Amino acid sequence: MQLVEAAASGQVERVRELLAQGADVDERGDRNRTAVTAAALGEHVGVVRVLIDAGADVDLQDDDRNNPLLVCGINGNVALLREVLRAGPDLSATNRYGGVAHIPASERGHVETVRALLDAGIPIDHVNNLGWTALLEAIVLSDGGPAHQEIVRLLVGAGANVAIADRDGVTPLRHARDRGYDEMVAALARE
């Protein structure tokens, strides 16, 4: 667990030292968390880089179903995401809510993270366990502000299916209209 602890606290030199001493790069700690996921949770980009260069498996998930890619969807750290993408992660990996990484990124307003994930080829119309796509979350769980407006434009521009409704049959366009999100309505109505 020394490697996981060093990674979680951002100790890049200690991580290098432990790896040089033969530590298992995919060692697991508390909650079955790997060092690379622990480093991602702490947003320690340098540590993530070292671990990926040492062959860390970025697809391994902990007991909370986190892995570095899914963590990037939550924290929106684009520098961290670029390191993770370098490792060729499974873009279809799902979090504890059954969502791929761009769903929480869309909900939280992480524009550049959404852009990078779309560029990487993430499944754009993935539906999570709540019955929502990234497009729905960008509308339903947002304040309708500029970041979420841009995310809706990005998703629509990337080909998101604007007809995918929630479990109650409510479409993204109707949600946007009901909330008075005029910029989003305009982006969705163009489709």
- The number of C-alpha atoms within 13 Å of 191 and in the hemisphere containing its C-beta is 20
The SS3 of residue 105 is helix
pLDDT in tens, 153-173: 999 999 999 999 999 999 999
Contact 114, 102 (CB under 8 A): yes
Separation between Cα atoms, residue 34 and residue 67, nearest integer Å: 8
Output the pLDDT for position 70: 98
CA atoms of 55 and 30, how far apart (whole Å): 21
Identify the pLDDT of residue 191: 56
Q: How many CB atoms lie within 10 A of CB 170?
A: 14
The amino acid occupying position 140 is V
| Digit-coded pLDDT (tens) for 49-72 | 999 999 999 999 999 999 999 999
Alpha-carbon dihedral 165, 109, 78, 190, rounded to 10 degrees: 50
User: Where on the phi/psi map is residue 55: left (φ > 0), alpha (ψ -120 to 50), or beta?
Assistant: left
For the chain, the maximum distance between any two Cα atoms, rounded to a whole number of angstroms, is 59
The residue written with tokens 């909370």 in the block is 64
pLDDT at 183 over 70: yes
Domains and CATH numbers, the chain: 1-90 (1.25.40.20), 99-191 (1.25.40.20)
133: tokens are 């796509």
pLDDT recorded at residue 61? 98
